[in-house]
Amino acid sequence: MITSISNKKVKQIVQWQNKAKERRKDGIFLAEGFKMLEEAPESLIREIYLSEDVIDKISQNQVLLNKIQRFGYETVTGEVFAKISDTQTPQGVLTVLDRPQYKLGELLKQPMPLFVVLENLQDPGNLGTIVRTGEGAGITAVIMTQMTVDLFNPKTIRSTMGSIYRVPYVYVGSLEETLEQFRQAGIRTYAAHLKGKTYYDSFSFREPTAFLIGNEGNGLTKEAADMADTYLKIPMEGQVESLNAAVATSLLIYEAHRQRSLSVNNLHNI
């Protein structure tokens, strides 16, 4: 049992919790909680840490019990777990995982792709919500500019509720080059923009599609918006000028999901 907050492993985990640079350098991310361990792909698990008071709870969950028995685990005191945890009321389970790796070229080959492209999004909760909602709506991947918040920020990981394990992602250096790849792959790009003149539900998203979403405060840069094939807008009533980035993304990708589901159902009825 690890009993000291000065332990070398404890110091390393604290660094990973607090510094994106350290997580990136070591190619890892941290996931807290029973659900996150239960859903964690075994190919990604590197280490498991358990607070001494959760062992009995885990013994009642056969899936978790089998997993920790296969991988082994470190037991830590409650004081130590409070130090390595990023939550105010920790569940006493922390998993260190290798980051999954994806290549844009491979993702572009997916049939009927649906991408979310994020330019300089800054809120970890928004990003996590987009990943989680994206899984529900069946997106192909989340594409992010380098200035977008770290996908593996602990707050983002919590917001994904496990979707981080299943939704592919790519950080890109040049949005211009990426959108050119989209065009070559036959993917139509739509910029969610206040200057759009046509409501989003007037378009067909049954073809390969990518939605461009901008920074929470400033929206898309003019350069990024101008690179899109089409502007679109979301109806607004009252004095509301714009929606939260995650809410706007959710509306767009679920409209694409609705249209595509109708197309599939119509084919089945023929």
In CATH terms, 8-98 corresponds, of 3.30.365.10, 3.30.1330.30, 1.10.10.10, 3.90.45.10, to 3.30.1330.30
Per-residue pLDDT tens digits for 35-66: 999 999 999 999 999 999 998 899 889 989 99
Mean pLDDT of 58-81: 93
Name the phi and psi angles at 30, rounded to 5: -115, 140
Evaluate the CA torsion angle 68, 73, 79, 82 in order and state its sign: negative
Mean pLDDT of 69-78: 94
Evaluate the CA torsion angle 110, 181, 21, 216 in order and state its sign: negative
**C-alpha angle 208/125/197, rounded to 5°?**
45
**pLDDT surpassing 90 at residue 242:** no
Mean pLDDT of 139-162: 97
Six token digits for residue 108: 């572009």
Looking at the chain, how many residues does it have? Answer: 270
Per-residue pLDDT tens digits for 90-117: 999 999 999 999 999 999 999 999 999 9
The pLDDT-based confidence of 270 (bands split at 50, 70, 90) is: very low
**pLDDT surpassing 90 at residue 177:** yes
**pLDDT surpassing 90 at residue 136:** yes
Q: Can you tell me the distance from the alpha carbon of 34 to that of 51, in angstroms, rounded to the nearest whole number? A: 12
Q: Per-domain residue ranges for the chain? A: 8-98, 104-269
* Domain 104-269 = CATH 3.40.1280.10: yes
Average per-residue pLDDT in the chain? Answer: 94
104-269 and 8-98 share a CATH fold? no
Query: What residue spans of 19-61 are helical by DSSP H?
Result: 20-26, 34-39, 55-59
